[in-house]
Amino acid sequence: MKHLQTRHYHDFSKQAANLIINQLKAKPNSTLGLATGGTPKGMYEVLRHSKGDFSQAVTFNLDEYVGLSANHPQSYRSFMEEQLFEHIDVAFSYIPNGEADDLEVECQRYEQLIKQYDGIDLQVLGLGHNGHIGFNEPGTPFSSRTHVVDLAESTRQANARFFKHYEEVPSKAVTMGIETIMEAKQIILLVYGEDKQEALERLMNGEVDENFPASILHQHPNVTLLSGGVKMPHY
């Protein structure tokens, strides 16, 4: 795992955005895997103002809440529209449909779509405090494909800041599985802020263990970890 450290959020975001822009320069019709959450907002801001050409790129988001309509302000579809898609011209963007009548069928459909594009070239990931990637909570099998998950209480609490009331935070989501994520040709893991340092340390020093989903990334051949935001630990 290649590890790049920056102190300031703007530099961190610029580095992340540059990795995406370089990918698009090398392969304009790239398939990009995208993430939501607070961490990548700066990256999306840089991308919104960049001259990156997304016109041939296809994007797949990692996950979506179950039960929120696409136009609900807290759906990940709304997040992505606001952060990126309303501002750039992307060939096609896919996000799981958390309102599908049959969520199992939706999960299979999503897997098939990714396959149709020959997999994901570059996947952006954030890191949950408990080590989750996408919405793959601790204990999720490393062999998982796109599936429906029950969100951990701690994850609902962490994401409650985006909702008016805690009770509004959905308790389920559809997420790409860990194996789905691991099949991406390249991965960027974004970890920023003091509150993520414990998780970062566990990632760097802990075992590869299903109880800390991000640990599997040590077994991927092409991961860039971008971290920053506090006094820099020395690894």
Note if 130 is an active site residue: yes
Tokens of 11: 């530099």
141 binds ligand GLP (CB under 6 A): no
Tokens of 212: 């800390």
Note if 137 is an active site residue: yes
- Nearer CB in complex with ligand GLP: 52/128: 128
Binding segment for ligand GLP (CB under 6 A), chosen from 50-58, 100-108, 110-118, 123-131, is 123-131
39 binds ligand GLP (CB under 6 A): yes
CB-based contacts of 6: which residues, under 8 Å, 6+ apart?
A: 12, 15, 226, 227, 228
36 binds ligand GLP (CB under 6 A): yes
Given the DSSP bridges, would you call strands 223-228 and 2-6 parallel, antiparallel or unpaired? parallel
- Nearer CB in complex with ligand GLP: 161/234: 161
CB-based contacts of 184: which residues, under 8 Å, 6+ apart?
A: 33, 119, 120, 121, 122, 123
Which residue from 82, 40, 74, 102 is spatially nearest to 167, judged by alpha carbons?
A: 74
- Least distance in Å: CB of 157 to ligand GLP? 11
Binding test (CB under 6 A) with ligand GLP, winner from 33, 131, 134, 177:
134
**Residues within the interface to ligand GLP (CB under 6 A):** 35-39, 62-63, 126-128, 134-135, 155, 159
